[in-house]
Structure 1
Amino acid sequence: MAKKIKQIAIYGKGGIGKSTTTSNLSAALSELGLKVMQFGCDPKSDSTNTLRDGKYIPTVLDTLREKSAVRAHDVIFEGFNGIYCVEAGGPAPGVGCAGRGIITAVELFKQQKIFEELDLDVVIYDVLGDVVCGGFAVPIREGIAEHVFTVSSSDFMSVYASNNLFKGISKYSNSGGALLGGVIANSMGTPYSKDIIDDFVEKTHTKVVEYIPRSVTVTQSELQGKTTIEAAPNSIQAGVYRALAGKIADHTESKAPTPMEVTELREWAAKWGDYLLAVEQGKVTSQGAAI
C-alpha cells in the first residue's frame, strides 16, 4: 500500500509573513528527515525564493505558455536540504483568473502521479488568503489539502482574512473539503498581540498552533535570500520554527471552525480598539483579559 502523504495548505493575508513562515516550516520539516515539496500558489511566484538563495524559478503557467505539453519535472526545482520547489504562477497581467495556476498545476501533478514518484512525505501549499475565490479555494474545496492552517497577526485585516478563510472551510467541510488545523500567530511583537489572537481563536472555536515573535533575524536572513533555518540555524527564531514543524508533523486531527459574521467581527474589533485606547490613555492598567 502506498504511504499516505501529508498535504497541508497555509493561507494568510498578503504581506503577513505567510511565505516566510511556510518556507521556514518546510526547511524545519526537511531537517526532521521528511521529503518535502513546497507548492507556491501565489501569482507573485515568490513563495520558494528563500529556499533557493533568493532565486526565482519558472512557473507552471509560464512554462505552459511556452510549450504545448509540460512534464512535471520541468517545473520542479530543488532547494535547501533537498526540498522540492514549485511555483504555480498566474496569468498575464490583466488577463484571466489569478487562481488558475493552482488548478492547472494540481491537475498536471495528479495526471503524472508526481507525488508518488518522488516518494514525498509532506506537500505544503502556500496560498494567498486575501480572497478565497474559486482558484485559491481549490486546496480546500477539492480536499487536496487535508489540513489547513492560517497565518495571522493581531491586525484587523489579517484577522478578517482568516475569518473569511474559516467561512470557506465551513462551507465545504461537509462535502469532503479540508478542515482547519489552527492559527499560526505571527509577528507577536506587542503586549496585546497574543491576547487579541487568543480571543479570536476562542470566539471561532479553533486554536493557536504556535506563536511566532517578530524578529530582526528573519529580516536579516531574507536579505541574504535564505530562511532563518538556513541562515541562522542556532537562533531563538529558528527554534520557534522547529517547534512549529514538530507540531505540524504530529498533527492528525483538524475540524471545522465557527467563523464570526461580519457584524459580529466588527463589534469584536471595535471593543478591542476601545480597550487598547483606554490602556494607552492610562484608564485601564491591567491587560490580558479577553473582552
Structure 2
Amino acid sequence: MRKIAIYGKGGIGKSTTSANVCAALADNDYKVLQIGCDPKHDSTRTIVGDFIPTVLDIWTDSEREGFDITRSMVLFNGYKNISAIEAGGPEPGVGCAGRGIIRTMDILENLNIFEEEYDFVLYDVLGDVVCGGFAKPIQSGYATEIYIVTSGEFMALYAANNIAIAVEKVGKSRGVKLGGIICNSRNVDQEFELVSEFASRINSQMIHFVKRDQLIQKCERLAKTVVEKEGNSEAANGYRVLAQKIVGNNHFAIPAPLFFQELVDLCEKYTT
C-alpha cells in the first residue's frame, strides 16, 4: 500500500490535484482511497459527484443520539469505485479543525478502514502545517510519501517551504520523505524555472508542471474531475502523466528547507 499526503496552502489546488490523480490511478485499475482532511469537506466532491457526510458530523450526531458509527456511514464510492472519506471540521470560528483530523483518524482506525487492501491511500491536507492536527498524517505514519502543491507565487512557495520544514522534522524518525513538488501553474513570470530551482534547492524535484487550463475549473463546477468529464483533453492527459510519475517515482528525500531570506532572494531572481 502506498500512503501519500498532498499538502499545500489553501486554494492552491490540492483537492483538484488529489482527485484527478486518484481518477487517473483508478483508470489504471488501482484500488484507491482518498481522504479529505479539510474542514471545507470538498476534497472528494468531484470523485463522488456531490458533498458527502463528514466523519466529524457523524461522530457528533452519534454522541448526541447514542448510535454506533459504521463503515457505510463514512465510506463512499465514486468514479471507478474510488473510496472517499471526508474528515470535516467545526464551523468557522468554533473549535479546532486540526483536532478534528486527529479524532477522524482514531475513528477510521476503530472501523478498520486501513486494513482494506488499497493500492493507494491519498490524503488531501490543508495548509502549511502550522497545527499539529494537520501534521497528523505524517506524524503518525498514516502517510509516508509527501507531495507539495505550489505555484510560482511567493506565498505559495512560503507555505511549501514550511511544509518542507515539517517533513524534515519528522522524516528521519517516522520514515516520511518528500517525493516532489507539483507546480499548479498561475502563469507567474518564469514559473517553471522558479519552481524547478526551488525544488532542487530543498533537495527534491519538480515532479510535474500542471498547465493552467480553464477546462479544469469548468469540470469542477460540474462536480467532476477533468479525467472523468473530459478524458481526451490535454488537461486530463496531464494528470495521467502525473499519476504515472507518482507510480514510478523513486526520488524520495528528506528536504532541506530554505531560510526565509533565501526564499525571498530566489523569488527576486525570477521577478522581471
With the length of structure 2 as denominator, give the TM-score of the two structures: 0.94
- Partner Cα separation in structure 2 for residue 193 and residue 267 of structure 1: 15
DSSP 3-state at the match of 1:10? strand
Q: How far did residue 177 of structure 1 move?
A: 4.6
1:255 maps to which residue? 253
2:105 maps to which residue? 106
What is the alpha-carbon root mean square deviation over aligned residues? Answer: 1.5
1:40 and 2:36 aligned: yes
Gaps of 5+ in 2: none
Contact 1:144/1:178 (8 A) holds in 2: no
Counterpart amino acid of 1:104? R
Cα deviation code 1:46-74 (max 9, x no counterpart): 10111122x11110001011013322331
1:280 maps to which residue? none
DSSP 3-state at the match of 1:23? helix
Contact 2:203/2:253 (8 A) holds in 1: no
Q: How far did residue 267 of structure 1 move?
A: 2.6
Counterpart amino acid of 1:223? R
Larger radius of gyration: 1
Q: How far did residue 132 of structure 1 move?
A: 3.4
Gaps of 5+ in 1: 277-291
- Partner Cα separation in structure 2 for residue 73 and residue 7 of structure 1: 22
1:122 to 103, 111, 120: 120
- Partner Cα separation in structure 2 for residue 63 and residue 91 of structure 1: 12
DSSP 3-state at the match of 2:97? coil
Contact 2:172/2:254 (8 A) holds in 1: no
Cα deviation code 1:9-31 (max 9, x no counterpart): 00011111110011000000001
Contact 1:206/1:257 (8 A) holds in 2: yes
Deviates more, 1:102-111 or 1:138-147: 102-111
- Partner Cα separation in structure 1 for residue 174 and residue 189 of structure 2: 39
- Partner Cα separation in structure 2 for residue 113 and residue 249 of structure 1: 25
Q: 1:173 to 1:149 in 2, by over 3 A?
A: same
1:80-159 paired onto structure 2 within 5 Å: 80-117=79-116, 119-159=117-157
Deviates more, 1:139-148 or 1:190-199: 190-199
Q: How many residues align?
A: 268
- Partner Cα separation in structure 1 for residue 204 and residue 32 of structure 2: 26
DSSP 3-state at the match of 1:95? coil
DSSP 3-state at the match of 1:210? strand
1:215-226 paired onto structure 2 within 5 Å: 215-226=213-224
Q: How far did residue 201 of structure 1 move?
A: 1.1
Counterpart amino acid of 1:146? T
1:59 and 2:54 aligned: yes
Contact 1:39/1:126 (8 A) holds in 2: yes
Counterpart amino acid of 1:84? S
Contact 1:141/1:177 (8 A) holds in 2: no
2:238 to 232, 240, 256: 240
Counterpart amino acid of 2:18? T
With the length of structure 1 as denominator, give the TM-score of the two structures: 0.88
Counterpart amino acid of 1:46? D
- Partner Cα separation in structure 2 for residue 259 and residue 99 of structure 1: 23
Q: How far did residue 144 of structure 1 move?
A: 1.4
DSSP 3-state at the match of 1:99? helix
- Partner Cα separation in structure 2 for residue 190 and residue 130 of structure 1: 21
- Partner Cα separation in structure 1 for residue 238 and residue 198 of structure 2: 22
- Partner Cα separation in structure 2 for residue 112 and residue 223 of structure 1: 33
